[in-house]
Structure 1
Amino acid sequence: MYSVKEVLIQKNAGYLAGWNDEVYKRAGAKIVDKEVWESDIVLKVRPPLVESEINETEFFKSGSTLISFFHPSQNQDKIKLLQKRKMNLFAMDQIPRISRAQSFDALSSMANIAGYKAVIEAANVFGRFFTGQITAAGKVPPCKILVIGAGVAGLSAVGTARRMGAIVKAFDTRAAAKEQVESMGAEFLQVEIKEDGSTVGGYSKEMSPEFIKAEMALFLEQCKICDIVITTALIPGKPAPKLISKEMINAMRPGSVIVDMAAEAGGNVELTKPGKLFVTENGINIIGYTDFPSRLPVQSSTL
């Protein structure tokens, strides 16, 4: 049985999430600065930074262990750098979402937060109310929102948008999602081709060319009438599938908003700029933030 000799917390590590250093001290931790990198086991939310001015992989002690939301398929170059230091890596995002692993499933809680925050970010950019109103100044139509992907993040977005008064439609390749979407008061969209995209782990799989062609036609028609489109589609171990083309973007009305929640994995939207809010020449706002849970740090830390 191994015992932990010392727990080190980087100075101000929890400050933005509402946890000051004194809280960690009372729990028995030691507050340090750069010494935190000398630990045998390092817990870090994001992958190590590897940029022109800084390379955090060089800070780790040789033979140490890193536990992080690493996304190995998108960070093969960083894995090679860790291999050179003979390190062990536990990628939190690779833990299977099954019953016996539920206590380790931080992906679901973060996806829940991300779906909520995606709608809030869209509302911040969108120039109208979500809910319809009849006022002395005139009638205000309700906002129409399309959510592509009805996993944890998508359902969170659906629920948030519905509570804010929007008309919500959702699409998913998994047949089981239909009941969940409709139970939240949203309309579930389907294509004529019958094909189920479910996998054992609950993720979506790649669909047939015929199905993809049909869903692309559906998305184009919806982009013409929807004010906000939120995409959440991811395939484990592969780049995010491209679902929203330039043609679809150009079909939307000026002032419309697209939130690409898959931006960190390459994006579902053709014009997404990861980490940024991009406005097209036609006035379409494309939100490609890669840190939605970090934008609600107190909630993320709690869950």
Structure 2
Amino acid sequence: MNKVLVFKSQDDKDPRVPLLPEEARKLCQLGCKVWVAAGLGSSLGISNEDYEAEGCDITSAPTEVLDEIDIVLSLGPPSPDMAAAYKAHHVHIGSLNAFQNGDQVREWQDRGFTTIALDFIPRTTIAQKMDVLSSQANLVGYSAVIVACYNLNKLAPMMMTPSGTIQPARFFILGAGVAGLQAIATARRLGARVDAYDPRPDVEEQVKSLGARFIQIKLGETGQTKDGYAKALKSDQIREQQIAMAEYCASSDVVITTAQVFGKKAPKLITREMIERMPHGSVIVDGAVESGGNVEGSIADGLVKVHGVTIIGYRNLACRVAHDASQMHSNNLVNFLSHFWVPDSQAFAFNPADEIIQASMVTHQGNIVSHRLNLH
């Protein structure tokens, strides 16, 4: 029988919960013994008793039960005290942000325990139901629009009243990946007029299907990786892109940027010069601030005003809908674990030859095994 510990993220500002009680029950039903750190669900009003009612045990000292544990589940990477307490047989599963945590990855390698990155799950059909990045990105797109509307001094929809007609707000969405498409859909549901741009011509049909206008900018050869991520553009392509986008930014009330390149720093798309041309009272939401930001002058977890334009750089926008974010994360996590459960042995088997494990395993048996990282 595998013994599992569910541990809270080391980020105290993150109200999400890695595993909700109803999903924890599913692991118990598989045959796991599940330990839950005391207070795990307190940010969502979930009590220790709620977990106990589903078959879990509660521990107020997670590091003290590690000798009995095989697998640790968390939202993020292991905290320093947990990593120091891990032994070689432990497996830590969470979103590890390994590209930005190179020093920690080397420490995990030295400690000899196994780490599996949920944010490295491949974008394949079989792994779709485990894809934490996509599920959370959906919520980022939604939250970006809501945050923008809250800070905008205009209404989103058109209104025809006895006092006159109010024109709809104009949104410009940069990037039509999962977050961008959800931002488009949410803004359209609110009645806004939406333009959208992405250098990948393949997404034009998806943008139009949501009721937005797709902006075409000729940049030469662009495209996406085999996993569906946008390829990095060359410097001259980015400059051409900025020149063309400046006109759309100047006529927009809200600009939402979601452009990221997997494993690399986010491209700077919105310059100060472009910001200065935008209408007074308009809003920019930098949805890529955690990976360097798309907007010049944006501040991580900050809100600044430049020439009357509000620039919002809130990190982890999915946290603003923490209940649903936790539900989706829990489902992804249980789907991942269930895929590797072997009923005959009543245990998980993380086969390094499996394509999902090949993509997501970061450290194992004292080695950095991820082909995505260049830390050797």
Fold similarity call, TM over 0.5: yes
Q: Deviations over 1:147-184 (max 9, x none)?
A: 11101110000000001010001101111110000011
Aligned to 1:23: 50
Match of 2:309 among 265, 276, 284: 284
Cα displacement (A) at 1:83: 3.0
Q: Deviations over 1:60-79 (max 9, x none)?
A: 42333221111211111222
Deviation beyond 4 Å, 4+ runs, structure 1: 55-59
- The unaligned stretches of length 5 or more in structure 2 are 4-31, 329-376
Aligned to 1:47: 77
Q: 1:36–1:170: structure 2 CA closer, same or farther, 3 Å change rule?
A: farther
TM-score by length of 2: 0.74
Give, as a single letter, the amino acid of the residue that structure 1 aligns with 2:217. V
Q: CA RMSD in A?
A: 1.9
Moved more, 166-175 or 65-74: 65-74
Aligned to 1:171: 197
Distance, in Å, in 2 between the alignment partners of 1:78 and 1:221 is 43
Aligned to 1:32: 59
Cα displacement (A) at 1:260: 1.0
Aligned to 2:121: 95
Q: Retained in 1: the 8 A contact 2:35–2:59?
A: yes
Q: Deviations over 1:182-240 (max 9, x none)?
A: 01110000113343322211110012444322211122111111111111111111111
Distance, in Å, in 2 between the alignment partners of 1:224 and 1:143 is 13
Q: 1:59–1:14: structure 2 CA closer, same or farther, 3 Å change rule?
A: farther
Q: Deviations over 1:237-288 (max 9, x none)?
A: 11111111111122212211111111111111111111222223x1221111
Give, as a single letter, the amino acid of the residue that structure 2 aligns with 1:26. A
Aligned to 1:152: 178
1:186 aligns with 2:250: no
The aligned runs of 1:1-303 (5 Å cut-off) are 2-4=1-3, 6-35=33-62, 38=66, 39-48=69-78, 55-56=80-81, 60-63=85-88, 64-280=90-306, 282-303=307-328
Q: Retained in 2: the 8 A contact 1:145–1:226?
A: yes
Q: Retained in 2: the 8 A contact 1:16–1:298?
A: no
Moved more, 145-154 or 64-73: 64-73
Distance, in Å, in 1 between the alignment partners of 2:85 and 2:304 is 36
Q: 1:186–1:36: structure 2 CA closer, same or farther, 3 Å change rule?
A: farther
Distance, in Å, in 2 between the alignment partners of 1:188 and 1:18 is 42
- The unaligned stretches of length 5 or more in structure 1 are 50-54
Q: 1:257–1:60: structure 2 CA closer, same or farther, 3 Å change rule?
A: farther
Q: Retained in 1: the 8 A contact 2:2–2:71?
A: no
Distance, in Å, in 2 between the alignment partners of 1:220 and 1:58 is 47
Cα displacement (A) at 1:13: 1.3
Residue correspondences, number: 296
Q: Secondary structure at the match of 2:201?
A: coil
Distance, in Å, in 1 between the alignment partners of 2:70 and 2:261 is 33
TM-score by length of 1: 0.91
Q: Retained in 1: the 8 A contact 2:199–2:217?
A: no
Distance, in Å, in 2 between the alignment partners of 1:57 and 1:204 is 35
Distance, in Å, in 1 between the alignment partners of 2:48 and 2:173 is 40
